[in-house]
């Protein structure tokens, strides 16, 4: 599912239905994909749409690293409540 999300988000941002496109792309031959600019399925390399492997790998490694850090962290980040000064007592009338 995590590998589907980049395609789904690109397609949604382009105004198409992400779930429909993802399911269609799953059934396409290797190298075929969806051109969000034209709204058609095409050979990605011939269309000049390439995703450098190093960038994708780096993004996945960073995401996994952050997820692991969050799972193993034993600390909590929260706001420190501010102490409010007590309201002064009203003055007593002279009798």
By CB atoms closer than 10 A (0-12, 13-18, 19+), residue 46 is exposed
- The model carries a pTM of 0.52
31-90 residue pLDDT tens:
899 998 899 999 988 998 877 677 788 888 999 998 888 888 777 677 888 888 877 777
Determine, yes or no, domain membership for 32.
yes
From CA 5, how far away is CA 42, in angstroms rounded? 19
Determine, yes or no, domain membership for 83.
no
Give the pLDDT score at 95. 66
Determine, yes or no, domain membership for 28.
yes
9-33 residue pLDDT tens:
989 999 999 999 999 999 999 989 9
Determine, yes or no, domain membership for 84.
no
Determine, yes or no, domain membership for 76.
no
Give the pLDDT score at 92. 75
Report how many domains make up the chain. 1
Range of the domain at 46: 5-70
For residue 43, the domain's CATH number is 1.10.560.10
Determine, yes or no, domain membership for 33.
yes
Determine, yes or no, domain membership for 80.
no
């Amino acid at each position: 599912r995590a590998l589907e999300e980049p395609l789904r988000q690109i397609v949604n941002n382009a105004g198409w239905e992400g779930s429909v496109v993802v399911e269609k792309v799953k059934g396409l031959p290797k190298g075929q994909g969806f051109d969000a600019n034209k709204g058609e399925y095409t050979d990605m390399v011939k269309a000049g749409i390439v995703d450098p492997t190093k960038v994708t790998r780096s993004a996945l490694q960073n995401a996994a690293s952050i997820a692991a850090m969050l799972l193993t962290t034993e600390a909590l980040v929260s706001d420190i409540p501010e102490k409010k000064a007590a309201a002064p007592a009203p003055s007593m009338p002279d009798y």
